[in-house]
């Protein structure tokens, strides 16, 4: 039976580091890290995410600002708010909660955030810095950054000689995850919906990362014995065993059977999920340190 990574516990340790670094920065430079979160419209799931981000920012000791804009907000109004936050020296991180309502175009908004305040790591400058291996001045997308914390805590900083397979090639997760693994010297394969014989590709992985969005797609016989399996998928499926109409969350990996073969595995929920908010806080305190000319903490 594999060791099951406790994502909540790892996220809590990241938050402890963020809190200590926030207090130290304030003491040394008189700079309070500041995070602004923008939400447009009234989607309940987005409001829940934004609420927990703002709450966590406060717990970390940040200046935490939440801008809740009405559904009828125009592209120009949203762009003007981002511009004002770009110009605000007390704000080190800007996050625009996605998806935006359909009448708004998210891409120009995201690209208008100053790269050094782009704590979601979605700006092309940050994607480019990651692609050229510049982790010292760029900001990395939160979920892959979180998954990489698990990889580092399992295998150390140097993945020389290890084969990593990332299933999924999204800009949000698959591509940045693959870049992080490559940067740490793993031999990386990116698989996707056009990959031939995916099970065979996966069986080659010492580190297997699944970010597809297909419930329990990765079976035990796709997993190399002794592998580390990181499950990024979040899928809601029917759970009639819990009662009529009930549902439960599962990942992209058939957890119970894969755990019989892997050495280390992440559960869903409670694996990668809790790391996303933690790494948002980490990125904000990193951005605040850089703005103050201080060396940021490592995570």
Ligand X SMILES: NC(=O)c1ccc[n+]([C@@H]2O[C@H](COP(=O)([O-])OP(=O)(O)OC[C@H]3O[C@@H](n4cnc5c(N)ncnc54)[C@H](OP(=O)(O)O)[C@@H]3O)[C@@H](O)[C@H]2O)c1
| Minimum distance, C-beta of residue 98 to ligand X, in the bound complex (Å) | 10
Please name the residue that has the structure tokens 């406060």.
58
Question: Among 85, 97, 273, 291, which residue interacts with ligand X (rule: CB under 6 A)?
Answer: 273
| Subset of residues 188 to 227 that bind ligand X, contact rule: CB under 6 A | 191-195, 198, 211-214
Rounded to an integer, what distance in angstroms lies between the CA atom of residue 63 and that of residue 142?
20
Contact pattern from residue 227 through residue 256 relative to ligand X, giving x for each residue in contact according to CB under 6 A and a dash for the rest: -----xxxx---------------------
The residues with which 93 forms a beta bridge, in sequence order, are 35
| Minimum distance, C-beta of residue 146 to ligand X, in the bound complex (Å) | 8
| Minimum distance, C-beta of residue 59 to ligand X, in the bound complex (Å) | 19
For ligand X, give the closer residue by CB, 83 or 238.
238
Kindly give, in sequence order, each residue whose CB lies less than 8 Å from that of residue 96, ignoring residues fewer than 6 positions away: 38, 78, 82, 106, 109, 110, 113, 120
Please write down the long-range contacts of 183-189, taking CB distance under 8 Å and 24 or more positions apart.
183/130, 183/133, 183/135, 184/148, 184/151, 184/152, 184/157, 184/158, 184/159, 185/158, 185/159, 185/160, 186/159, 186/160, 186/162, 187/161, 187/162, 187/163, 188/164, 189/163, 189/164, 189/165
* Identified catalytic residue from 118, 120, 206, 252: 120
Residue among 152, 214, 210 nearest 183 (CA)? 152
Segment near ligand X (CB under 6 A), from 74-82, 109-117, 162-170, 286-294?
162-170
Residue 53 bears catalytic tag: yes
Segment near ligand X (CB under 6 A), from 47-55, 60-68, 270-278, 279-287?
270-278
Which tokens is 77 given?
A: 């109004």
For ligand X, give the closer residue by CB, 91 or 279.
279
* Identified catalytic residue from 97, 179, 231, 252: 97
162 belongs to the binding site for ligand X (CB under 6 A)? no
Segment near ligand X (CB under 6 A), from 32-40, 67-75, 168-176, 222-230?
168-176
Q: Just list the catalytic residues.
A: 53, 97, 120
């Amino acid at each position: 039976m594999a060791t099951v990574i406790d994502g909540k516990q790892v996220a809590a340790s990241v938050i402890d580091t963020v809190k200590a670094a926030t207090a130290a920065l304030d003491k040394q430079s008189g700079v309070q890290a500041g995070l602004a979160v923008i939400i447009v419209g009234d989607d309940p799931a987005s409001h829940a995410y934004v609420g927990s981000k703002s709450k966590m920012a406060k717990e970390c000791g940040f200046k935490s600002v939440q801008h809740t804009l009405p559904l009828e907000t125009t592209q120009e109004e949203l762009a003007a708010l981002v511009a004002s936050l770009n110009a605000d020296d007390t704000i080190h991180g800007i996050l625009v909660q996605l998806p935006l309502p359909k009448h708004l175009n998210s891409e120009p908004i995201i690209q208008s955030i100053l790269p050094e305040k782009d704590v979601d790591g979605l700006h092309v400058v940050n994607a480019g810095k990651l692609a050229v291996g510049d982790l010292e001045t760029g900001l990395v997308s939160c979920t892959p950054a979180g998954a990489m914390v698990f990889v580092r805590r399992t295998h150390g900083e140097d993945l020389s000689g290890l084969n990593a397979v990332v299933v999924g090639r999204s800009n949000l997760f698959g591509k940045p995850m693959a870049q992080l693994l490559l940067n740490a010297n793993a031999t990386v394969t990116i698989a996707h919906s056009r990959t031939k014989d995916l099970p065979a590709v996966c069986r080659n992985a010492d580190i297997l990362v699944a970010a597809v969005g297909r419930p329990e797609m990765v079976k035990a016989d796709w997993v190399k014995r002794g592998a580390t399996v990181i499950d990024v998928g979040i899928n809601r499926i029917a759970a009639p065993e819990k009662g009529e109409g009930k549902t439960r969350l599962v990942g992209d990996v058939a957890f119970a059977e894969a755990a019989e073969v892997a050495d280390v595995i992440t559960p869903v929920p409670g694996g990668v999920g809790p790391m996303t908010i933690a790494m948002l806080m980490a990125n904000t305190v990193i951005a605040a340190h850089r703005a103050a000319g201080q060396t940021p903490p490592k995570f």
